[in-house]
Amino acid sequence: MALERTFSILKPDATRRNLTGAINAIIEKAGLRIVAQKRIHMTRGQAETFYGVHKDRPFFGELVEFMTSAPVVVQVLEGENAIAKYREVMGATNPANAAPGTIRKEFALSVGENSAHGSDAAETAAQEIAQFFAGNEIVG
């Protein structure tokens, strides 16, 4: 498998509790390289676009509220098989189902406030990276 890039968000519950360094340590220990990173406060429009695939789900309003409730850290992670690897490192969406040692098991507060986002496929990774980063902000 070639070097791959995935998009990550350290969510508001993580920035609020000062957990971005602890989460980055897990990311780096897993062999993923942080090749771009910035702290932003997402606008409602950015959050609605980002999670557009979920717009008809009952939790959409609460999801957008949460994602805009405090700063987030957006990242591009690079490594072998980075998309699947980061999904593994994050753990299941619901922390109750996440494996020990995963980001969500260690830090998530609930299925909604679950500390991290990671892309689920190559196409979404490319779209998500392009929503938040210009090419020259990614330094591999």
Which residues bind to ligand DAT, rule: CB under 6 A?
A: 54, 59, 63, 93, 111-112, 114, 117, 120
Question: What's the rounded Cα separation, in Å, for the pair 18 and 55?
Answer: 29
Name which of 57 and 137 has its Cβ closer to ligand DAT.
Answer: 57
Name which of 59 and 99 has its Cβ closer to ligand DAT.
Answer: 59
Name which of 39 and 54 has its Cβ closer to ligand DAT.
Answer: 54
| Residue 117 falls in the annotated catalytic set | yes
Catalytic residue among 32, 117, 118, 129: 117
Strand order in the sheet with 33-40: 33-40, 72-80, 3-10, 116-118
Question: What's the rounded Cα separation, in Å, for the pair 137 and 126?
Answer: 14
> To 10 degrees, what angle do helices 20-29 and 82-90 make?
130
Catalytic positions are 117
